[in-house]
Structure 1
Amino acid sequence: MNTIPTNIITGFLGVGKTTLIRHLLSQKPEHERWAVLVNEFGEIGIDGALLSEGGATVKEIPGGCMCCVAGLPMQVGLTQLLRQQQFDRLIIEPTGLGHPLEILQTLNDHFQNVIELKVCLTLIDPRHFVSQRHLDNDVFRQQLEVADVLVIGKMDLASDEQLTAMHKQLDQWLLQQRPQVQIKQGQLQPQWLEGEHQQHSPLPEPSHHHGGNYPAATLPTPTAGHPIVSKQHQGQGYFSAGWVIHPAQVFALEPLFNWVNGLSCDRLKAVLITDQGIIALNLADGVVKMLELDECEDSRLEIIHHQPLEWDALGEALKNCLTTQAL
């Protein structure tokens, strides 16, 4: 089997990794077969539905950092993915709270003869460089350290003060000379995937942070009699709750959008069946974005925050946005 060109695309929560990968998939050559190994902090898995429309084979690893417990979730998920067929490119999208140095270590230890590691892209939001919570986060710095290319998004939302702070911090961390590219709406050109990965920092000793459990708990499948199931998760100083809703349940889009728009949380992602079609919702930095989709198997919504929220009350509010009350 030929080695597979492989890119890691990393970045903190809410920077737009999935949007960027969706754009890359829309640009891939028609004759090529791409695979995406996507890791989500929460337990329910949403990115698979968002990426599957791009014509790639997608494998999800939910439930925390895939490098936890000696990299076992990643080894199992990647092995299962690569057994399906020969791919022309593999993209690995770690959770925004995942440890990229340890992901690289797992790839080097177990997959050297299978993959050809290409450039690692780190997507950054300039506004995070005036947030001490981000600057003090070890994962945030790791994501910058492993980057072969710094992909700067959301420039239109950043102030001059935030841009100055970003360049000052990159200079302080000796990262200012790394190749940089500015993008809008995730529109990165595929040629940025080429080139070899450079090992910029020594790989760490095997991790003992145990940011998640493996195997991830299996969610019960929603049924007509029990149409909503939920799961909570915590790790790396963050908390999440996710809900999976039976496809027979339909949301009223207007009250649903108003509810999401009024939430205060670090991150919300959803793929939902509504009275106006299938839509994806994305809440980051107080901004809600909506995208129309062609299909999905069920409705899913996940909220992530750096503090625990009133999950039961949020679940009831979500239920109240259904066109018919769930049992």
Structure 2
Amino acid sequence: LDTLTSEHYQDVLSLGPVLTLVDPRKLEDPRVLKNVHFRDQVAAADILVANKTDLCSTRQLAAFDRWASELDPPKQHVFHTQQGQLAPAWLDGRADSRAVSTPHAHHHHSPREVAPAPDIQTKPWQRVSNQGQGHFSLGWRVHPDVVFDENRLMALAGDERIVRFKAVVNTPESWRVINVVDGALSVFDSEARDMSRIELISASELNADELDRAIRVAAGRSTQDE
């Protein structure tokens, strides 16, 4: 937003209201409310929209409305919707000048070198892990010639310990995007990529070796294959 409202763009861009969609059910998780990125997305919003209201209870919607009404500064509008449907009229008007909640949280005070990922041709099976903001992630980068069993990956994505599953993989039919969040599965075709990528996000640390074996089974590989 700072870039879009900078002097360079003032004569060519007019920034309308900033909308942020929130799943009211997520407000029940204290980690979400403490998450820096979530707080900043909310702080930057002129308009808050409660999404997926068809999946929320009356209590959850009331809690969202109460939380939204207590935000300072107040929002221009607060709306409810389902399936991400937005009314064009909500985009009328202009953005307010809003500061993020924690402006220094996104800056590294002591820059460090980040090693580049190994070349996928040299190391065709790569596993990475990370953690932050109360969540853990495991990711894989795999050579594009490796073909995955889509059904095995979707079965893995249904593991209740995994809160988010994202994959762009080569399958026997085509390259596919598999996305699971909050139990909702979406699968669609993709253009061929330079590698397959898989990421699992969980609320607690998972057994990386166990999941690596499951991913390898979906790829028809053994632990000795590299």
Scaled by the length of structure 2, the TM-score of the pair is 0.79
Counterpart Cα distance in 2 of 1:179 and 1:219:
44
Tell me which of 148, 169, 172 is aligned to 1:272.
Answer: 169
Query: Which of the two has higher C-alpha Rg?
Result: 2
Aligned to 1:219: 117
Tell me which of 231, 249, 252 is aligned to 2:149.
Answer: 252
Please give the residue correspondences for 1:68-147 in structure 2 after superposition, counting only pairs within 5 Å.
Answer: 104=1, 107=3, 111-114=6-9, 116=13, 117-147=15-45
| 1:199 paired to 2:94 | no
Counterpart Cα distance in 1 of 2:202 and 2:110:
16
* Percent pairwise identity: 31
**Which letter does structure 1 place at the counterpart of 2:22?**
I
Aligned to 2:195: 298
**Which letter does structure 1 place at the counterpart of 2:205?**
P
Counterpart Cα distance in 1 of 2:70 and 2:190:
42
Distance verdict in 2 for CA 1:168–1:120, change over 3 Å: same
Distance verdict in 2 for CA 1:205–1:133, change over 3 Å: closer
Counterpart Cα distance in 2 of 1:238 and 1:212:
23
Counterpart Cα distance in 1 of 2:129 and 2:109:
14
Contact 1:228–1:243 (8 Å) recurs in 2: yes
Counterpart Cα distance in 2 of 1:281 and 1:215:
32
User: C-alpha displacement at 1:175, in angstroms?
Assistant: 6.9
Aligned to 1:238: 135
Contact 2:44–2:100 (8 Å) recurs in 1: no
Contact 1:120–1:148 (8 Å) recurs in 2: yes
User: C-alpha displacement at 1:290, in angstroms?
Assistant: 2.0
Q: What is the aligned residue count?
A: 221
User: C-alpha displacement at 1:176, in angstroms?
Assistant: 6.7
Task: Using CA pairs under 8 Å that are at least 6 residues apart, name the structure with larger relative contact order, 1 or 2.
Answer: 1
Contact 1:211–1:236 (8 Å) recurs in 2: no
| 1:262 paired to 2:172 | no
Q: Which residues of structure 2 form unaligned runs of 5+?
A: none
Distance verdict in 2 for CA 1:228–1:194, change over 3 Å: farther
Counterpart Cα distance in 2 of 1:126 and 1:137:
15
Aligned to 2:213: 316
Counterpart Cα distance in 1 of 2:212 and 2:156:
12
Contact 1:123–1:153 (8 Å) recurs in 2: yes
SS at match of 1:134: helix
Aligned to 1:288: 185
Structure 1, residues 79-115: CA drift from partner, whole Å, max 9, x if none? xxxxxxxxxxxxxxxxxxxxxxxxx45x389x53146
Counterpart Cα distance in 2 of 1:308 and 1:302:
14
User: C-alpha displacement at 1:123, in angstroms?
Assistant: 1.6
Contact 1:221–1:229 (8 Å) recurs in 2: no
Aligned to 1:161: 59
Counterpart Cα distance in 1 of 2:115 and 2:7:
30
User: C-alpha displacement at 1:216, in angstroms?
Assistant: 4.4
**Which letter does structure 2 place at the counterpart of 1:264?**
R
**Which letter does structure 2 place at the counterpart of 1:231?**
V
Distance verdict in 2 for CA 1:237–1:162, change over 3 Å: same
Contact 1:279–1:292 (8 Å) recurs in 2: yes
User: C-alpha displacement at 1:174, in angstroms?
Assistant: 4.7
Contact 1:144–1:150 (8 Å) recurs in 2: yes
Kindly report the root-mean-square deviation, in angstroms, between the aligned alpha carbons of the 2 structures: 3.2
Q: Which residues of structure 1 form unaligned runs of 5+?
A: 1-103
Counterpart Cα distance in 2 of 1:151 and 1:214:
38
SS at match of 2:66: helix
Contact 1:241–1:302 (8 Å) recurs in 2: yes
